[in-house]
Amino acid sequence: MEFSLTPEEASCLSDDLFLITKRRVVEKNVALLFQLQEPIQDWGSTLTGEFHRLFLGSREGKVSTGENYQGLPYQIFDYPRIFDPENTFALRTMIWWGRGVSTVLHLAGDVWEATKEQVLQQLLTFPNDYVVVGDDPWQHHFGPDNFVQISALSGSELAVLADKKFFKIGQRWPLEERGFLLKRVNETVSRWSTFLR
């Protein structure tokens, strides 16, 4: 491994303004993500049945921050956040530096099995959203091997969703939309409420 720095790397290392600015952006992203707690709590109160019961059992929202999701920094807000072996019911909102902003609803286990039919029956009513086609529930990128826009799903891809052990529906926005995150997430989860009742 080469330990010497290129001129560009050395400049980055010594640029304290860049490093201080990066820290401030992380702090602002974390604060913004925590602002989602209340509107999501309001949304959760509109859910019924098993989803409402699970939502009430969820812990408070949690922000995770990291430096290396596919080489880039990120901040994630999980709420609700139930990741049990029997059930996964989570809403994950991610600010991924250099890539974009997204929110994803993740269902697995008993709750997915119990609601799979009603979710899949309504899926085509969300043509502009994305659904996971990848096999790893812990991948968050919107590459074509992981998420496909619902309007572009083939019949065979749609049939495969019923056999998956987990389900993820998501929406993404460019980083320029970061300032509208609360509005975008609220609009998105309100749309998804139709199959969470």
Q: Is the pLDDT of residue 22 over 90?
A: yes
pTM above 0.85, yes or no: yes
Lowest average pLDDT, out of 63-77, 101-115, 149-163, goes to 149-163
User: If you average pLDDT over residues 110-125, what whole number do you get?
Assistant: 91
pLDDT at 1: 64
> Does the pLDDT value for residue 52 go beyond 80?
yes
Q: Which two tokens stand for residue 140?
A: 């968050």
Residue 2 inside a domain? The answer is no
- What average pLDDT is seen over the chain? 93
For residue 80, say if its preceding peptide bond is cis, omega within 30 degrees of 0: yes
At 38, is the pLDDT very low, low, confident or very high (cuts 50, 70, 90)?
Answer: very high
**Is the residue at 153 inside a domain?**
yes
91 in any annotated domain: yes
Distance CA 79, CA 21 (A): 28
Q: Residue 71: helix, strand or coil by DSSP?
A: coil
Q: What is the DSSP string of 50-64?
A: HHHHHHHHPPPPEEE
Is residue 1 in a domain?
no
Expressed as residue numbers, the domain containing 171 is: 7-195
Q: Is residue 95 part of a domain?
A: yes
Quick: pLDDT tens for 128-169.
999 999 999 999 999 999 999 999 998 888 888 999 999 999
Within a domain: 114: yes
Model pLDDT, residue 186: 93
Most confident listed range (121-125, 155-159, 192-196)? 121-125
Number of structural domains the chain divides into? 1
Mean pLDDT of 6-32: 94
Q: What is the pLDDT of residue 158?
A: 86
Q: What residues are paired with 168 via a beta bridge?
A: 106
Mean pLDDT of 66-72: 96
- CA 193 remoteness from chain centre: 16
| DSSP per position, 139-190 | -----TTTEEEGGG--HHHHHHHTT-SEEEEEEEE-GGGGGGHHHHHHHHHH
pLDDT band for 32, please (50, 70, 90 cuts): very high
> Is 74 inside any structural domain?
yes
